[in-house]
Each structure stands twice: as structure tokens, then as C-alpha cells.
Chains A and B, each alone.
Chain A
Amino acid sequence: GAVVSQHPSRVICKSGTSVKIECRSLDFQATTMFWYRQFPKQSLMLMATSNEGSKATYEQGVEKDKFLINHASLTLSTLTVTSAHPEDSSFYICSARGPRETGELFFGEGSRLTVL
């Protein structure tokens, strides 16, 4: 199956710093990737759709200046949490549609962000 790799898996940072999370499709090209956020015991919340070579599409209520998304190539999308605060602590997961017709999503391993 298609493989999506996400890095780092865990990051702890101080309040006010910025954190970059990378999402790579390893064996297929992904023109579109999705960034999700998940709080404990809750379902996935779509934050934004990342489009290769163009601006990301953000969901309502998601601050685009705080969560910067760059999709510079067909295999890499990055999410930068700028000026992180403790309330940004969460599990961030990226995904991409696989190459098959069913279009199922393949997820990265997720990145657990803890802001002190």
C-alpha cells in the first residue's frame, strides 16, 4: 500500500517558539494532502487541505497565519505551528489520497506536540 511518513513523531517546545512538521508520501505523488488535529478521545478535525503549488485551503476557525502550510513538491507538505502556546498541544496527523481508484486516505504516523 501507499506510505505516508510524518516527522517528528513527538516534539516538546517552549511557548512562543515555532514548530515544523513534515509529511511525505514515500512511494506515490500526492497533489493534495490533508492536515488533521485530534484532541484526546475526540475524532479527527480537518484543519486544512494542502495543494501542491498553490495556497492551502483552511477550514473555518483555523488561523492560517498560525498554522502555515507549504506544499512545495508532490511528495512533501509541511505544517508550521507559529508562536506555539499550550493550547496548541495536540496530535497532528497528515494524510494523502493513495493512487488507487477508491481514493482511500493513507495517514502519516502523527506528531504529538506538547507546548510548555
Chain B
Amino acid sequence: GQNIDQPTEMTATEGAIVQINCTYQTSGFNGLFWYQQHAGEAPTFLSYNVLDGLEEKGRFSSFLSRSKGYSYLLLKELQMKDSASYLCAFQDSNYQLIWGAGTKLIIKP
């Protein structure tokens, strides 16, 4: 079967670093996405990993280990505007996206 799991909620402090984990199980895999979604808005694309390793993009980095079915999104130098839900999703063998429930990130001053 297929499943994907990520924490429901996390809290971090402004200026700090936070890591949001995502684990998945699937027989066919064609990449993993991270999206950011502010309350009441549509998701926006953050990153895509299809090979193992770390992809860095400014304050945000995403890591993938295909053998472990594991990914994380790392946010550095947290800003209040980073308060949002972060959705991970993988593409299966049919290129269907399987979505996690999202992690609500709360940033405190």
C-alpha cells in the first residue's frame, strides 16, 4: 500500500532552525515535493527531490533518502512569515501525487 506521514504541528522560535520530517511508503516512486500553504491560501511550490541528498534553496533545504522512505524540510533563520502549513507529497509510479496531511508550523517571537 501507499502512505505518507508527517507531524501535525510544530512550534519554533523566530531566528531558529526547524526540521519537518516526512516518511512515506510506496512501491513506485517518482519524486517528492514540499509545498507551503498559508491559512486560507493555495499551496505554493517549495522543492522537489527525486535523487538522494540535500537540495538547498536559500533559507529552505530539502533532503531525501529513497532507501529509508524519508524526507525532511529544513527552514533556517525562521521568520514570522514562515508560519504556515507545510505539505509533503510523493509521486507514485503513475505520477499521481499522494499528499501528507500537512504540518502546521507556529513561529513564536
User: Is B45's CB under 8 angstroms from A44's CB?
Assistant: no
Q: For residue B101, give the distance in angstroms from its CB to the closest CB of chain A.
A: 4
CA distance A112 to B33 in the complex (A): 25
CA distance A103 to B91 in the complex (A): 10
How many chain B residues touch A (CB < 8 A): the figure is: 19
Given contacts A107-B43, A107-B44, contact A43 B97 (CB under 8 A): no
Q: Is B73 an interface residue (CB 8 A)?
A: no
Is the CB–CB distance between A105 and B42 below 8 Å? no
A-B contact pairs, 26 of them (CB 8 A): A1-B45, A42-B101, A43-B87, A43-B99, A43-B100, A43-B101, A43-B102, A44-B43, A46-B97, A46-B99, A91-B40, A95-B42, A102-B31, A103-B31, A103-B91, A103-B95, A104-B45, A104-B48, A105-B33, A105-B43, A105-B45, A106-B45, A107-B42, A109-B41, A110-B41, A112-B40
